[in-house]
Structure 1
Amino acid sequence: MSIKLIKISAVYFGLGVLIGMYISMEHAFSLTPVHAHINLLGWTALTLAGIIYHLFPKAAETRLAKIHFWGHNIGLPVMMAGLTLFVYGHEQFEPVIGVGATITVISILLFVINILKNVNAEG
């Protein structure tokens, strides 16, 4: 699980950097929230989750870890696609943001529960 998270976080990092470059080249500053969320929830959060799971393999082996991984990596792209369309004036995609955000938040809360239950001094 730790390797999967670190690898997918690198994909989000590359995507976030490309979005940032596009924003600066095209002055498409309305995409700033997409850039920020991809970098924070994709790159940073998932890298840290991967490191935590590497350090505490008991937590990485749980069903909660698998649900977190898949939920986070389904919810975040859905939320970002909806947000991208929304900031470009397609207001009908606002519910898509909510669906993706809800999946992402639930996944992150499951990660928190997993950490509280399975991370301890014994590993």
Structure 2
Amino acid sequence: MGVKLIRIAAVYFVLGVLLGMYMSISHSYDYASVHAHVNLLGWASLALAGVIYHLFPAAGESTVGKVHFWLHNIGLPVMMIGLALLMSGVESVEPVIAVGGVLVTLGILAFLYNVLIHVKSSTK
């Protein structure tokens, strides 16, 4: 899971940078919240989780590591697309954002559990 998370984090990084470039060029910052969430929950969080899973293979290879990966990577695009639509004026999309946010939150809670259970010091 470590390498997969690092790779998907790099995709989110590019998406965040491209969205930032678009906002800068157009002088329209309506999607700043999407940009911030993609960079924080996509690029930074997933890259750090990937490094942790790589350094602690028991965490990365665990079932809960896979659950974290899928919940986070299904929820985040759902939440970001919904948030972009909301910022475009589609108010009826709020429940979609909530579903995506709940999935991401559950994924992050799975990550926490995984770290507490599988990330252990190599010194005794």
Gaps of 5+ in 1: none
1:37-79 alpha-carbon deviations (Å, 9 max, x no partner): 0000000000000100111011111111001001100000000
Shift of 1:30: 1.3
Q: CA separation in 2, counterparts of 1:25 and 1:13?
A: 18
1:21 aligned partner: 21
Shift of 1:94: 0.8
Query: 1:54-69 alignment to 2 at 5 Å?
Result: 54-69=54-69
Shift of 1:27: 1.9
State the SS of the aligned residue for 1:89: coil
- The code of the aligned residue for 1:38 comes to V
Shift of 1:2: 0.7
2:107 aligned partner: 107
Q: CA separation in 2, counterparts of 1:58 and 1:99?
A: 29
TM-score by length of 1: 0.97
TM-score by length of 2: 0.97
1:37 aligned partner: 37
Shift of 1:26: 1.2
State how many pairs are aligned. 123
RMSD: 1.0
Q: CA separation in 2, counterparts of 1:27 and 1:84?
A: 17
Q: CA separation in 2, counterparts of 1:98 and 1:57?
A: 32
1:6 aligned partner: 6
Shift of 1:122: 2.9
1:51 aligns with 2:51: yes
Gaps of 5+ in 2: none
Shift of 1:25: 1.0
Query: 1:69-80 alignment to 2 at 5 Å?
Result: 69-80=69-80
1:85 aligned partner: 85
